Amino acid sequence: MNASVAGTAEARAGLDRLLGDLRPKLHRYCARMTGSVVDGEDVVQEALIKAIEALPQAGSIAHPEAWVFRIAHNAALDFLRRRARQEAAHSDQDPDPDMIVDPATPARDEQIAAASLHTFMRLPAAQRSSVILMDVLGYSLEEIGDVIGSSIPAVKAALHRGRARLRVLAQEPDDRPLPILAEPQRSLLAAYVERFNARDFDAIRDMLADEVRLELVARTRMNGRSEVGKYFHNYAKLKDWHFAAGVVEGRPAVLVHGPDGSPRAPAYFVLLEWVGGRVVRIRDFYYARYATEGAELSAGAERSALLP
């Protein structure tokens, strides 16, 4: 998109189209910056809101895509700073400075592009952003410098160090323990999945809290049992899904497969939260299937993933 964007209704419509087209790409970036597909989606949503709010004041934007990515980059850094402060508040250690401040030819290295979110998080923020933008998303040195506000020599240095470090990290075994769901979450999740697969939506509604909140990620939000009930009506009309209990980044989740329930990689997932045995929040990624890329998930069939 090379045409300048002006602060008009037409410009807003153009920005909306651009944001829709860029959303999966923005998520690939933000998920790797934060080390989480779920936190990455939160950062994307924050960045989109900031872009829409900034448009009237932005005037003419020569390079809208770079402008949006710069907003997302800064939103990701803000998120990392907040998380570092929160972690420091519960620890005797000082926060990692790489999480708080950010003081070529793309690598044809599939190992780098395929590195896990956890592995990317072990790089300093400047190296991480440079490697993601070039080796995962394919941006040029000039475009990266524009996004992160850095000189080309600094971007080159960050790329060199980040790539070298990733190659070393890729050789290390991942010895982190499997995520665990303890009671009562395991039983609540199993009951939710069983009733959903049986199409017993009245029983599902009985599991909801009065103040339940639903987010169809990238589409809409609903609040309260009455409004959220419409969501189940839509699932009742569909025949192309089968739910399985699972864990996504340590969170209780429903993994959604095809109607045959085959063990292939899920098409998308649904996050659930409970309070007092009632479902208080549902985050359904049906319209944000890009979030499954790089997600750390475990299926309920793997007993060790769900039981202490």
- Which residues of the chain are under the pLDDT cut of 70? 1-8, 58-59, 91-111, 260-263, 300-308
Q: What is the mean pLDDT of the chain?
A: 86
Tell me the three state secondary structure of residue 275.
strand
User: How many Å apart are CA 129 and CA 120, to the nearest integer?
Assistant: 9
Tell me the three state secondary structure of residue 272.
strand
The pLDDT score that the predictor gives to residue 6 is 45
The backbone torsions φ and ψ at residue 160, rounded to the nearest 5 degrees and listed phi first, read -60, -50
The pLDDT score that the predictor gives to residue 263 is 65
Specify the CATH number for 185-306; select among 3.30.450.30, 3.50.50.60, 3.10.450.50, 3.40.50.360: 3.10.450.50
The pLDDT score that the predictor gives to residue 182 is 81
Residue 27 tokens, joined: 């998520």
This prediction has a pTM of: 0.85
The β-bridge relationship of strands 297-299 and 242-248 is antiparallel
Tens digit of pLDDT for each residue in 67-84? Answer: 999 999 999 999 999 999
Alpha carbons within 13 A on the beta-carbon side of 272: 28
The pLDDT score that the predictor gives to residue 97 is 45
Architecture of domain 9-170: Up-down Bundle (1.20)
User: How many Å apart are CA 36 and CA 19, to the nearest integer?
Assistant: 21
Q: Where are the domains of the chain?
A: 9-170, 185-306
The pLDDT score that the predictor gives to residue 31 is 97
